[in-house]
Amino acid sequence: MLKHLHIWKCPMLECIAQDFHETTDLESIFIWGGQNIKSLPQGLDKLTHLEKIQLDGFSSLVSFEESGLPTTNLKAFSISNCENFKALPDYINNFPFLQKLKVCECSADIPFPEKGFPTNLTSLAISNAPKIYTSLVQWGLNRLTSLQEVEISGEGCSSVISFPEEGIGMTLPPPLTSIRIENFENLEYMCSKGFQHLTSLQQLQIYVCPKLSSLPEKDMLLSLKSLHIYDCPLLEEGCRRGKGREWSKIAHIPSVRIQPKVQH
């Protein structure tokens, strides 16, 4: 009985057991490197036991319109390095058990689903997805009331100067334990109000934000156990031990790593 399927550089997905007709007990699928595949095989939506889908390196994949995705038990969905992939399923908000969602390095034109994300997500990672980020902020990241981990890379988000975005009163979900932000080219400061309910936050990672100069107030960071700052020169200067203007905010954190950009 096949439950876990890993495929590496398979040129034709039709080689998989008659379009999944004989693999209905599958619990996880990981497929990497399907360069010539424009759509997934028929029958994915029939895999009622499927809990995890991970797709990586599908340079021709555009959407799931033809094949569909199973909604019954899917808990984790990841799609990465699919530069022509342009649309998440509109019905993704109806995935009752989806907890982990990753959309990274696909087409920058991917829109935010019309009906939003499932509010039971516990982990969210997006990169090179400015339209998703912009709409997610307007929709309300705080609606994800179970979110524990968030990773956001801000390619294409040149108008963002604060995180969370202060102008619209954006706040972060209280259950968050880990935040990672990177590649926000014009980000200048971290908004304290957006962090005010994060009493469980333990890890904060900030990478490659060249204009970022200030962190949230100390009272918003009291629960932090780990802070990692990489290639943020203004923030690096401000967080100099004992001397920087931001040091008093982070002196209590057990693990602090501040690294300049690695020069080659």
Asked if pLDDT for residue 15 goes beyond 50, the answer is no
Does residue 161 register a pLDDT over 60?
A: yes
Q: By the 8 A CB rule, do 8 and 16 touch?
A: no
Least confident interval from 12-21, 169-178, 228-237, 254-263: 12-21
Range with the poorest average pLDDT among 36-50, 98-112, 156-170, 223-237 = 36-50
Going by the DSSP 8-state scheme, the letter that residue 6 receives in this structure is: E
**How does DSSP classify residue 41?**
P
Average of per-residue pLDDT values in the chain: 87
Q: Residues 121, 100: contact at Cβ < 8 Å?
A: yes
In which band, very low, low, confident or very high, does the pLDDT at 14 lie, cut at 50, 70 and 90?
Answer: very low
In terms of pTM, does the model score above 0.85?
yes
| Contact of 46 with 22, CB cutoff 8 Å | no
The rounded percent of the chain whose pLDDT value lies above 90 is 61
CA distance linking residue 96 with residue 92, whole number of Å: 9
pLDDT at 254: 97
Give the residue-averaged pLDDT of 44-67: 79
Average pLDDT over residues 175-181: 98
pLDDT at 10: 53
Nearest-angstrom CA–CA distance, 83 and 56: 10
Locate tokens 């908000």: which residue?
Answer: 93
- Give residue 9's pLDDT band: very low, low, confident or very high (50, 70, 90): low
Which pLDDT value is given to residue 212? Answer: 98
Provide the pLDDT for residue 233: 97
Written out in words, the top-level CATH class of the domain with range 119-259 is alpha beta
Q: What is the pLDDT of residue 6?
A: 53
Q: Band of the pLDDT at 137, cuts 50, 70, 90?
A: very high
For the ranges 21-35, 66-80, 164-178, 223-237, the one whose mean pLDDT is highest: 223-237
- At 12, is the pLDDT very low, low, confident or very high (cuts 50, 70, 90)? very low
Q: How far apart are CA 75 and CA 177, in angstroms?
A: 19
Q: List residues bridging with 52 in a β-sheet.
A: 28, 76
Asked if the peptide bond before residue 164 counts as cis, ω within 30 degrees of 0, the response is: yes
DSSP class of residue 214? B
Q: Say how far apart CA 148 and CA 239 lie, in whole Å.
A: 26
In terms of C-beta density within 10 A (0-12 exposed, 13-18 middle, 19 or more buried), how is residue 154 classed?
buried
